[in-house]
């Protein structure tokens, strides 16, 4: 009985992970596009502009490495700085 419960719980966690990962994977490019569009007319200090661009670049690198949760979090920091 305990083994069945453990197997079911493991399967459920795996299924959630499989479903969440693709959803996050598709979010990254959307966030990058939002940042790119906002950068064109952004009125940020030189330092803030450099930080946003660095966060944008890091977010893309994390996305390409399959680290979608980290990518979404990093891109969210950039969007927060730009108020988007």
pLDDT at 26: 87
Average pLDDT, the chain: 84
pLDDT above 70: residue 33: yes
51 within some domain? yes
pLDDT in tens, 40-74: 989 999 999 999 999 999 999 999 999 999 999 99
The parent domain of residue 76 ranges over 23-82
* 3-state secondary structure string across the chain: CHHHHHHHHHHHHHHHHHHHHHHHHHHHHHHHHHHHHHHHCCCCCHHHHHHHHHHHHHHHHHHHCCCHHHHHHHHHHHHHHHCC
Q: Is residue 58 part of a domain?
A: yes
Task: With respect to residue 59, please indicate whether it lies within any of the assigned structural domains.
Answer: yes
Name the percent of the chain lying above pLDDT 90: 68
Q: Is residue 3 part of a domain?
A: no
Tell me the pTM. 0.72
Total structural domains within the chain: 1
Residue 6 maps to a domain: no
Domain membership flag for residue 54: yes
In a domain, 76, yes or no: yes
| Share of residues in the chain with pLDDT > 70 (%) | 71
């Amino acid at each position: 009985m305990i083994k069945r419960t453990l197997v079911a719980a493991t399967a459920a966690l795996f299924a959630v992970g499989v479903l969440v990962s693709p959803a996050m994977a598709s979010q990254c490019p959307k966030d990058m596009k939002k940042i790119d569009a906002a950068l064109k007319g952004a009125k940020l200090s030189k330092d803030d502009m450099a930080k946003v661009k660095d966060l944008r670049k890091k977010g893309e690198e994390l996305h390409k490495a399959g680290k979608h949760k980290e990518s979404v979090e990093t891109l969210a920091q950039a969007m927060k700085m730009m108020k988007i």
